[in-house]
Structure 1
């Protein structure tokens, strides 16, 4: 198993040198996780950044014993408790595999070393963070302004792979409703 998907992802945006490839290969490790595995736990500082080669991963918070899914990502996406990973603050999120997953990961200390040694990596990460901030800002707006049905339709149009591969309870939580309500919305859309 190689880190080729990550290299391809970066090289689609930037010219990547052999030295950058060597550094990425040295610092990123490939790991398989089974469905349900917790990659990072709440109430600790996030220690790793993950690049998903295969599978689906979610972040969720526990609010009075109820899991609230805050993010769902699949192949060729990065995931971590970004606020915690970047700032060193305690994470309020758990990161869990929704399916069997193959990921590439880098530790915080290796990430910092890679950032110092590779200008491309530093520039690339800035772009990843900007994309995450933009996505999260739009998601907040959608949660506040769109009905659950419109949120579901938007998810269906923009990320159909999530609808096809993620259990209904996680999708419902992600758009802020109960699974029964999502079932009604899906039946309405189909008919």
Structure 2
């Protein structure tokens, strides 16, 4: 749980009373590789912090899934739009590796927002961060080649990419696995 507190303290200081309330609402969840966290049509009920593992967000398709996000250790994971609106999700979330999460329910998160001094600041800053990540991804898809997107992903997290199947990386950068194979051959 110290990882979560350190992460939060980097966003904004949280006094001990606020931390006690927040941490009392967290539950540890250990999951195996390829475990669904959320399926299409389900309503997101949790915000989770990853202390171990890799998670992917995707839209399942007949031929191949459309992967649009990876979330790693020391990051929050949720279907944020479904969580905010409490409406069914249009995509799925699953673990890619053995994963450990600390989760807080939507109801408990609302209580933290309403009763703590730092809850709203943390919530706002996390929403701003999610917006920046989404904006960067959209701009990348609109303005960069698949090769540039691959190189960006590879330079951001080279060790972690070794744990993600190439078919998911290909989907994430918007190409087929065969096209990714050609890109990888060109740059090595």
Q: Deviations over 1:151-178 (max 9, x none)?
A: 0011112222432221111111111111
The reply on whether 1:135 has 2:133 as its aligned counterpart is yes
Unaligned runs of 5+ in 2: none
* 1:79-106, Cα deviation, whole Å (9 max, x unpaired): 1111010112211011100000011111
Unaligned runs of 5+ in 1: none
Written as runs of structure 1 = structure 2, the 5 A alignment for 1:1-191 is 3-64=1-62, 66-190=64-188
Pairs aligned (count): 188
Distance 1:65 1:189, change over 3 A: closer
Q: Deviations over 1:20-45 (max 9, x none)?
A: 22112211111110000001111121
Provide the TM-score with structure 2 as the length reference.
0.95
1:44-98 deviation digits (Å, cap 9, x = unpaired): 2111111110110011112456311111010111111110101122110111000
User: What is the alpha-carbon root mean square deviation over aligned residues?
Assistant: 1.3
Normalised TM-score (structure 1): 0.93
